Amino acid sequence: MRIGIDGLHLFGNYAGIQGSLASLVTALRNVTPSDEIVLYVPRDFKGPPIATTAENQNDPGLLIRKTWFPGRWRGVRTLWRNFRLQSAVYRDQCDILHGPTYALPFMLSKRAVVTIHDTIALTHPLFCTPGSAKIQKRLIPRSVKTSRRVIVPSIASKEAVLANVKGADEHRIDVIPWGVGPEFKPITDEKERRAARLALNLPEHYVLFVGNLEPKKNLSLLISAFFAAKLNRKLPHKLIIAGQPGWGKENVERLVIQHSAQDYILFTGYVEPRALPAMYALADLFAMPSLVEGFGMPALEAMACGCPVVTSSDPALQEVCGSAARVFPYVQTKPFLPLREIIEELLVDNSSERQKMSAAGLERATCFSWERTARLTRECYQKALEDA
């Protein structure tokens, strides 16, 4: 099978969707090496996955087709996808096209699969920029309608698609969870832990959040809960917020200043993927208080590294973490209070409970791998080709 994959989002810093796409392509090449993948990427694509070029012929089954424009040109990127991608797929004699970022070409005759990571633009448009929400309100229903199969990363996302996309057919939707790579693992050797802490300039004790800084992540609640817990129980911990700035970050930074908490609430900005496993492994607690998610990759990565996890009651996060994570409920009066109580409970003389959570998280993480994701995705491609 020759598979055309829309990789136009593979530029700049990889986070979330970009990282999952790069991992999926790599896993597909490992699981089904007899297939060929044609990956269409912007001019400023740098990998991963590693490109097949004249200098690098390590994987002749992965063909990189670079466009003439950089990925940051959103308007041009959209036009090229709508009016040039399909002709490129036909020219390269691909059997099927995969749109892994919500989108397929406007006029579509080639058999295609689309991945809908979430329906936040439809259910929570205030958590998106106005332009993004407006585009995706048209894009998601059209892509679901024109595709042969739809991939979603969680049952929660599938239910959201069925509830909010008119005409969506549950028999054409495949739930294929994301995976977690082998690099995400605990660091048990004390010498290695000290070296990693020194190399990354990490404090001795800290609570960690990883993700883009945007409204749906509910960082104001996390900051308020941590601030209250630190003052109430004199915690030695710091709060590390690791992720690239998104829209709405000014409100989060303003809250830190209002609390006069600049000394113990630290913003790292974007963290290189190779540094993330150690950041998870050395944290005393990982917190993900998101209001809504389609999957929740950072929570899975934290569990794989042996870090205890606490999350909101968002359905997708609960689905990913199972019973391995502590879940705090939403309350209208002092909404930060339940999270504050869990932080205090776990960080004040309760190392045995954290050890139990760590063991449960490690076991839960074994249910997810990129090899399994690739096999299920390949099966989805085959079903799309066989569908009448």
The larger pLDDT score, comparing residue 337 to residue 47, is at 337
Residue 46: pLDDT band with limits 50, 70, 90? confident
Which residue would you say has higher pLDDT here, 349 or 155? 155
The pLDDT of residue 248 is: 72
CB neighbour list of residue 347: distance below 8 Å, 6 or more residues apart: 205, 207, 229, 233, 235, 237, 284, 285
| Cα first-last separation, the chain | 18
Q: State which H helix or E strand residue 196 sits in.
A: helix 190-200
Residue 148's SS3 state is coil
pLDDT tens for 68-114 read: 999 999 999 999 999 999 999 999 999 999 999 999 998 899 999 99
Residue 187 banded pLDDT, cuts 50, 70, 90: very high
Domain 2-178+369-386 classification at class level: alpha beta
Tell me what the mean pLDDT of segment 152-158 comes to: 97
Burial of 139: CB neighbours in 10 Å, binned 0-12, 13-18, 19+: buried
Q: How confident is the model at residue 245 (pLDDT cuts 50, 70, 90)?
A: confident
**pLDDT value of position 128:** 84
Report, as an integer, the average pLDDT of 153-182: 95
Task: Indicate whether 51 pLDDT > 70.
Answer: no
Whether the per-residue pLDDT at 25 is higher than 80: the answer is yes
pLDDT for 388: 63
pLDDT at residue number 160: 96
Average pLDDT over residues 247-274: 85
As annotated, the residues of the chain forming the CATH 3.40.50.2000 domain(s) are 2-178+369-386, 190-365
Q: Which two tokens stand for residue 319?
A: 């689905």
Judge contact between 302 and 283, C-beta under 8 A.
yes
Q: What is the pLDDT of residues 326-349, one digit of tens each?
A: 999 988 888 999 999 999 999 987
Contact 206, 283 (CB under 8 A): yes
pLDDT digits 0-9 by tens, 289-316: 999 999 999 999 999 999 999 999 999 9
Secondary structure letter of residue 65 according to DSSP: E
| Bigger pLDDT: 209 vs 263 | 209
More confident residue, 206 or 334: 206
Check pLDDT > 80 for residue 217: yes
Distance separating alpha carbons of residues 267 and 376, to the nearest angstrom: 37
Pick from 29-33, 74-78, 171-175, 252-256: least confident: 252-256
The CATH class, in words, for 190-365 is alpha beta
Asked whether residue 318 carries a pLDDT value surpassing 90, the answer given is: yes
Over the chain, what is the mean pLDDT? 92
Residue 57 in this model has a pLDDT that exceeds 70 = no
Predicted pLDDT at 191: 94
Is a pLDDT exceeding 90 seen at residue 49?
no
**Residue 50 banded pLDDT, cuts 50, 70, 90:** low
